[in-house]
């Protein structure tokens, strides 16, 4: 009969004289209230069907968005792990350098004390 969703939620103008004649014939046979009730039931059904399809589309978009977000979080966790390992490695290296510097400073101190003792 009419495609209510071709131009939004407003019914379009009848496509042909036959549609107008069909509606008039229905009104004459079963009465205007029955035709209006039938059209409204059909409209409600189509609206519900459209709404259901829209919800399904939004759920699919949400699912795809969630999957992308999970992928981003996983990648971020990998990067955080790599950064953490690098920081831990640098911490160990700095401790080793500090120990080496401490040993070197002790040797220099010992050499300086030996030089001072030899000059006396």
The pLDDT tens digits of the residues spanning 87-116 come to 999 999 999 999 999 999 999 988 888 888
For residue 7, pLDDT over 50 is answered with no
- 3 state DSSP class of 13: coil
Cβ-contact 11, 1 below 8 angstroms: no
The predicted-structure confidence for 46-92, as pLDDT tens digits, reads as follows 999 999 999 999 999 999 999 999 999 999 999 999 999 999 999 99
Q: Measured between alpha carbons, how far is 62 from 107 in angstroms, rounded to an integer?
A: 67
Write the DSSP string, 31-86: -HHHHHHHHHHHHHHHHHHHHHHHHHHHHHHHHHHHHHHHHHHHHHHHHHHHHHHH
Q: Measured between alpha carbons, how far is 115 from 120 in angstroms, rounded to an integer?
A: 9
Cβ-contact 51, 5 below 8 angstroms: no
Identify which has the larger pLDDT, 12 or 50. Answer: 50
């Amino acid at each position: 009969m009419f495609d209510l969703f071709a131009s939004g939620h407003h019914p379009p103008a009848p496509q042909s004289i036959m549609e107008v004649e069909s509606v008039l014939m229905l009104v004459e046979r079963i009465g205007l209230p029955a035709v209006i009730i039938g059209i409204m039931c059909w409209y409600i059904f189509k609206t519900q069907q459209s709404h259901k399809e829209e919800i399904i589309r939004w759920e699919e978009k949400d699912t795809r968005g969630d999957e992308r977000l999970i992928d981003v979080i996983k990648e971020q966790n990998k990067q955080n792990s790599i950064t953490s390992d690098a920081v831990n490695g640098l911490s160990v290296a700095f401790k080793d350098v500090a120990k080496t510097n401490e040993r070197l400073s002790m040797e220099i101190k010992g050499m300086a004390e030996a030089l001072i003792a030899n000059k006396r």
